[in-house]
Structure formats: C-alpha cells, structure tokens
Chain A
C-alpha cells in the first residue's frame, strides 16, 4: 500500500508566489492564471501487512514534516484534490538522491522496516480561467514547471 503525505507551508510560500508572478507577468498568463499553490508530496510504499496505516502515516510525518512551518494531509493509496484546481505533479525522471536518502534514513536509522520505497514530487495546483484547463496546465508545465531533461509532469485528474 502507498501512504501519501501532502505537505504544504503554513508560512507564505515565496516559491509559489515567484512562479505565479513569472507566469502572470512574464509569460502571458495574466488573464488565465487565477491562483497557484504548491505542495510537496511524499509517496511512501509500505508493506501490505501494515495494520494501522493512519498511525504509521503520523509517525512518518514526524520525520518528514517540520510542523513548525508545514502542515500535512495523509491518505492511503488515493489522493483527492480540491475542486477548482488542476493538480500538476512534477518529479524527477532522473534518480532522486533526496528520496533515496529519505528511504535509507527511514529504514536503516529510524526503524521503519516496513518502508519499501519513497518517491518525492511537487504538486502545483493551478486555478485557470481557460476553455481547456488541463491542456493549459500541461502547457504551463512544459513552458516553466519542468526541464524535460530531468523532470516529468503528470496532470493528476
């Protein structure tokens, strides 16, 4: 089974603000992009034999989330996003050293033997005033959110 930790900042997200400003002021999306938010997503594959995944998710979050500045939502297997936003997942298509380090840390040093794999990605949530929001979101991903030589994107709908 897969535990998903969606992590967002409690404090203002300067990176999301910069990306939003760049899209609106520099790239012609001023009339199209209404809002943009960002989350970090940890997708953690664990043994199916885990009996209480919600409790495990809370324990994992204590290691991966800094609750002084971040909040999180934990789900098992599925992810549901709020209405009105097109969620764009951006991850590395090359090896992700931070995800590998997190996996090793969880398994080898923190005792989470049930962890099988760890993936890390960003979710860019776009509120768009467009006839085909998903197509526009894909265009924005290709023009700014990814460098295709190291990143991939996926519209999560």
Chain B
C-alpha cells in the first residue's frame, strides 16, 4: 500500500506526515506538485499535508487548488481512492470543491473568530491541543475508518483560517443528514460546545473535519501527524508518562484508518 504525500510550494508538514503514515504500516513518498500528474495513479491513497501552499497568497489553498495535480487527484477520488487533507490540505480540498464535494465550492475556511459568552475574545492564529469527537460510524470515511461514533481523538492544531462558514443555508442540514461531519471539537469529556475554547475557531457547529458524500475524501484542521507517537504528546498525557516514547499516539488512528480503508477497498 503506497501513498503519495503531496507537496506544494510552501507545504511544511510533509516529512512528519510521511513518518506518521509509515508508522501505521503504509509505505509512501513525497510527491511534488510539478511532477507529471498522471504518475499519481500509481498510488493507493493521498495525503495533502499542512503548511502554507503558495504562502497563502490570495487566500489559503486557493492557488494550489488550481494546479493540474488537483485535477488528477479529483480523478483518483472518483475511483474511490482515499484522500486526507490536513490543515492547509483541508483548505485546498475545500477550495477545489472536493470537499464537501456537492458540486462547486460549498464552504469557506475563514479567519478564526473565538467567541466566549457571546463576545469575540480573540481572532486569528491559534495553536493548542484539542480533542475531536468522532461523529460518524466506523467505515463511513477513509480517515476515520476504524473509529467508532463517539470515539475521542486528541491532536494539536495550529492555524489562522479554520473557521468553516457557508452562505448555503441548507448545507449544514445536508451534511448532518448525510453523515459528512466526521469530527467536531469537544472538551476532554467529549462534550461539544459552541464557544471558545472548546470550539477553537468559531467553526459552524464546531466542525473540525468533513468528508465527501462517498466518504473517501476527508479534510480536518488539526494535525494527526503531530500526535502519532507518544513522544509528541503533552507531558500530562498518561500515554507519555507510561515511558515508551515510541508507542502510538492517538493521531496515528487516522493513518491506520486510511490503511484499513485501502485494504478493504482493494
């Protein structure tokens, strides 16, 4: 099972993403955006990692979404292959229309707006550990394939534009009905709240990750590659204090999901 980690100019999480994917049993390589796009078909799955593609010029993900490699990825997605977009990768997938994949561009990931007690208390870049609650049943989505509804996964996030908004009044209802909301921000007990600091960026319905209708394409703002080993976890985490620094961290389950999805779909 060989995956491609797509690297655009300005991507900066490609190496640790590849390390995390390999730790789950996947093999893979970095795939630079300007390689012949048709070479993508040789891979079983794809990850668009975080960073600042094209320095976030115009708006995050907008320029990368127009690259030929994205047309090739769209074709691979139509074949059912899994794609996971992390942070800037999620932004690229929304700007390209691959997410939520309802035809055209359906959402924007706008600047963070942190609201507490009805007041805006902070805006812009935010970096923190966060907990995600899985909202979909197992096997619904490639990137949460082995996660059950209600499972909690902790991982850090670091972004300025992750506030999911839409001008489509019916979109949220549709995403809920079709089980396309895969992750929501929650507290450590699994309780979802609309306001900061649980909802870290003001995202509609505390959305942290969504998939396409078919479930093979997932985008999420937090970074699973940054919690794939125990050594990456906060000092207070029990998995870290257990002593084995190379033990799996919770984020690895995203990559293990992708691996399992590929095994099942082959």
Name A residues whose Cβ lies closer than 8 Å to a Cβ of B.
14-15, 18-19, 22, 26-27, 92-95, 97, 101, 144-145, 147-151
Contacts and interface: CB of A to CB of B under 8 A. Distances in A.
A151 B165 CA distance: 11
A18 B57 contact: yes
Contact of B62 (A92, A144, A148, A149): A144
Contacts of B54: 18
B57 A15 contact: yes
Interface stretch (B105-113, B134-142, B225-233, B249-257): B105-113
Given A93-B167, A94-B110, A150-B110, A19 B66 contact: no
B108 A150 contact: yes
Contacts of B63: 18-19, 22
Contacts of A145: 58
Contacts of A148: 105, 108, 167
A150 to B, nearest CB: 4
19 contacts: A18-B57, A18-B58, A19-B57, A19-B58, A26-B66, A93-B167, A94-B110, A94-B165, A95-B113, A97-B120, A97-B124, A147-B62, A147-B95, A148-B108, A149-B106, A149-B166, A149-B168, A150-B110, A151-B108
Given A15-B57, A94-B110, A147-B105, A22 B167 contact: no
Contacts of A151: 59, 108
Given A145-B58, A147-B95, 4 more contacts: A26-B67, A94-B110, A149-B166, A150-B110
B174 interface: no
Contacts of A101: 123
Given A26-B68, A94-B110, A97-B124, A147 B166 contact: no
Nearest to A92: B110
Q: How large is the interface on B (under 10, 10 to 19, 20 to 34, 35 or more residues)?
A: 20 to 34
Contacts of B110: 92, 94, 149-150
B214 to A, nearest CB: 22
Contacts of B107: 149
A149 B108 contact: yes
B176 interface: no
B55 interface: yes
Contacts of B59: 147, 151
A153 to B, nearest CB: 13
Nearest to B167: A149
B163 to A, nearest CB: 9
Nearest to B104: A148
Contacts of A18: 54-55, 57-58, 63
B124 A149 contact: no
Contacts of A14: 55, 57
Contact of B66 (A27, A97, A150): A27
Nearest to B166: A149
Contacts of B57: 14-15, 18-19
Nearest to A95: B113
A22 B105 contact: no
Contacts of A94: 110, 165
A147 B110 CA distance: 10
A26 B27 CA distance: 31
A97 B123 contact: yes
B65 to A, nearest CB: 9
Nearest to B66: A26
A101 B62 CA distance: 25
Contacts of A147: 59, 62, 95, 105, 108
A149 B105 contact: yes
B261 to A, nearest CB: 29
Contacts of B68: 26
B138 to A, nearest CB: 31
